[in-house]
Amino acid sequence: MADTVTASSASDLGVEPNEKPRGLLRRAWEVFAENKLALVSLGFIIFIILFCFIGPLIYKTNQINTDLSTYLCKPSGAHLLGCDDLGYDELGRLMAGGQTSIEVGLAAAIVSVLFGTLYGAISGFVGGWVDSLMMRIVDAGLSIPYIMLVIILSVIFHPSPAIMIFVIAAFYWLGVARLIRGETLTLRTREYVQAVKVIGGVPMRSVIRHVIPNAIGTIIVQGTFAVADSILILSGLGFLGLGIQAPSTDWGSMLSNGLQYIQGGNYWWLIYPPGIAIILTCIAFNFIGDALRDAFESRLQKR
């Protein structure tokens, strides 16, 4: 993937033959790496992924059977972050919930970015009445307040993690499609795209080989923000009790569960760990998205 993108963009951008050809992604990385905040965020994301997916192998807890003998127990040596109302170890729960949150967030982002990109690129490239029709459909989807759509969809389809991916992607692709369509409108007039038409290439070839690789900056930036947004929406649905159902959990459902005890006493370990995990993960993805946008934009300025 990276190689084809690099090769096509290097030739497309008209890099001088004597200049050492450097791929778009590598140049973007160089700018990105100068941004300390973004590097810290990237480090944090790697840490949280290791924590959620490798952590349970080291810190073994029982996340299947409830244990009422440890009902709401305080943090201690045996349970580093205490236990919740079903006796699940909270630190282990944070890992299990994080797995769901991150998996759903990443998958929803990938699905919506892939579909939105293809839809937007085709719409913008074909143009004419097809474009108008396709964009009115996007307008229609975007005018439904997304939270209402998501709530109705989760009432209709009782949510499992796989369904949540579909529910979130069902509206998130719309924004991506509109953005990529705008990008495509400027790209389709470029000479190298016109040249494909002249030598008899089919439109789909232009879209896949030329339009999409040149919009890769926008696509990656959008994908990064999509992960943060998806995690937030999933947690919101979890809070409303419409998200992932027990015994699986996600950070939002953990929060929602802990809230029942917010009035009753100081059960901080039920609320702050999942809340802070959501906030830090989303901030990190947002910082990375912001830095990537700068990185890809500065590529345009240097050109």
Partner 1 sequence: MVGFLIRRIGQSIIVLFFVTVFTLFLVHLFPGGPIRALLGPKATPQQIAYYNNLYGFNQPFYVQYLKWVGQLFQGNFGYSPKLNLTVASEIGQYLPKTIVLVALGLIVSLLFGIPLGIYQAVRRNSFGDYLLTGISFLGYSTPTFFVGLILVDWFAIDTHVFPAFAPQGTSVGSILADPRALVLPVISYAFVLYALWSRYMRSSTMDNMVQDFVRTARAKGASERRVVWVHVFRNSLISIVTLLGLSLPTLVAGAIFIEVVFNYPGMGLAFYTAALNVDYETLLGFTVLATVATILGNLVADVGYAMLDPRVRY
Residues forming the site for partner 1 (CB under 8 A)? 136-137, 139-149, 151-153, 155-156, 228, 232, 235-236, 239-242, 252, 255, 259, 262-263, 271, 275, 278-279, 282-283, 286-287
Q: How far apart are CA 228 and CA 194, in angstroms?
A: 37
Burial 242-253, CB ≥16 within 10 A → b, else e:
bbbeeeebbbbb
What is d(CA 152, CA 145) in angstroms, rounded to the nearest whole number? 11
Between residues 80 and 135, which has the closer beta carbon with respect to partner 1?
Answer: 135
Nearer CB in complex with partner 1: 7/259 = 259
Query: Minimum distance between the CB of residue 18 and partner 1, rounded to whole angstroms?
Result: 35
Handedness of CA 129, 134, 138, 140 (dihedral sign): positive
Q: Tell the smallest beta-carbon distance from residue 21 to partner 1 (Å).
A: 33
Nearer to partner 1, 212 or 295 (CB): 295
Shortest Cβ distance from residue 221 to partner 1 (Å)? 15
Question: 211-229 as b/e, with b when 16 or more CB fall inside 10 Å?
Answer: bbbbbbbbbbbbbbbbbbb
What span, in angstroms and rounded, lies between the C-alpha atoms of 290 and 105? 18
What contacts 85, CB < 8 A, 6 or more positions away? 71, 72, 257, 260, 261, 270
The whole-angstrom separation of Cα 248 and Cα 232 is: 18
51: phi then psi, degrees, rounded to nearest 5: -55, -45
CA 158 to CA 242: how far, in whole Å? Answer: 8
Q: How far is the CB of 291 from partner 1 (least distance, A)?
A: 12
Least distance from partner 1 to the Cβ atom of residue 130, Å: 14
Give 54 or 144: the residue with its C-beta nearer to partner 1: 144
Taking the complex as a whole, how short is the minimal distance between the CB of residue 215 and partner 1, in angstroms?
21
CB 224 within 8 A of CB 289: yes
Residue with Cβ nearer partner 1 (99 or 101): 101
Q: Which is nearer to partner 1, 153 or 220 (CB)?
A: 153
Q: Which lies closer to partner 1 via its Cβ, residue 141 or residue 161?
A: 141
**To the nearest whole angstrom, how small is the minimum distance from the Cβ of residue 300 to partner 1?**
16
Burial class, 196, CB count within 10 angstroms (exposed 0-12 / middle 13-18 / buried 19+): middle
